[in-house]
Structure 1
Amino acid sequence: MTLTDVDLTHLRRTVELAREALDDGDEPYGSVLVDAAGQVRFEDRNRVKDGDETRHPEFEIARWSASHLTLHERAASTVYTSGEHCPMCAAAHAWVGLGRIVYVASAQQGADWRAEWGIPAGPVAVLPITVVAPGIPVEGPVPELVDEVRELQRRRFGA
């Protein structure tokens, strides 16, 4: 895995968005969509606290990009995210034809943290993006930022 300083800058932003979500009483996840020219086109954070568990930022990116970008623009883009896409988000990403994914913490890391803290597993299987959407280039986890994401998740669960 070869990440650039630009990649790390966008990943740091995803952690900021995750922190913003947690501070607002939501689950700590954040994502950024960057086009081939390096321009941030869309960013969001989790918004599931009101009961719609599909309001993940990666899913919102897929929805937004389907309406605002051409198929070529979507394929040339990168989605940066604080946590690896869940199966729902990985499928949405693949269905709309988005490009590369770079994530800070893996879904397996998140599941391991929950187990360590005595938190029950979530309702959806922990599957790597590449199992759900095998054609997408994926990079992660990113050790430089994993501890920050782990701390946000720890705060989320009060562990």
Structure 2
Amino acid sequence: MNSTDLQHLRRCVSLARAALEDGDEPFGSLLVDANGEVRFEDRNRVAGGDATRHPEFAIARWAAEHMTPQQRAAATVYTSGEHCPMCAAAHGWVGLGRIVYASSTRQLGEWLAQWGIAPGPVAALPITDIVPAAQVEGPAIELAEEIRELHRRLHGISE
């Protein structure tokens, strides 16, 4: 992970913060093409009742409509949290390239367990359990506390 990766991950954290401030779960993601251009960005939008409105899923849909298979394979998805199984599958089916995440599924699971919060309805699996050939980098230790704080606020945990 390099300084450009961290710059993009910081934008993902900013999008996650915006999601939380709008009453949603704190997740944000970017799609960056092979030339380094941000092609699409989004944040979680599940608060409206559709639990599939994850930014990584939106990225897969957008990429399928707007990029060639070669462009998708050369692109990088940056995200504040490791893909859930649904998003990992969408990533794999669409043929997107590298994934870089700020916090891992394991980290989030550990934080939730510390706070006594039950896990979600879908198994928390690493991306490579869903897409074995995925090129994945993360977590970014530099951003762990900031991500943890967003999730602490989401769940109303005081420390």
User: What does residue 99 of structure 1 align with?
Assistant: 97
User: What does residue 55 of structure 2 align with?
Assistant: 57
User: What does residue 137 of structure 2 align with?
Assistant: 139
Identity across matched positions, percent: 67
TM-score, normalised by the number of residues in structure 2: 0.98
- CA drift at 1:4: 1.4
**Given the alignment, which residue of 74, 84, 89 partners 1:86?**
84
- 1:83 corresponds to which letter in structure 2? G
- CA drift at 1:5: 1.1
User: What does residue 4 of structure 1 align with?
Assistant: 2
1:30 and 2:34 matched: no
Q: CA RMSD in A?
A: 0.4
- CA drift at 1:108: 1.1
Residues of 1 paired with 2:117 and 2:59: CA distance?
28
User: What does residue 75 of structure 2 align with?
Assistant: 77
- 2:39 corresponds to which letter in structure 1? R
1:158 and 2:156 matched: yes
Unaligned runs of 5+ in 2: none
Name segments (4+ residues, structure 1) moved above 2 Å. none
Residues of 2 paired with 1:39 and 1:52: CA distance?
29
Residues of 2 paired with 1:121 and 1:130: CA distance?
20
User: What does residue 14 of structure 1 align with?
Assistant: 12
Unaligned runs of 5+ in 1: none
- 2:72 corresponds to which letter in structure 1? R
Residues of 2 paired with 1:111 and 1:7: CA distance?
24
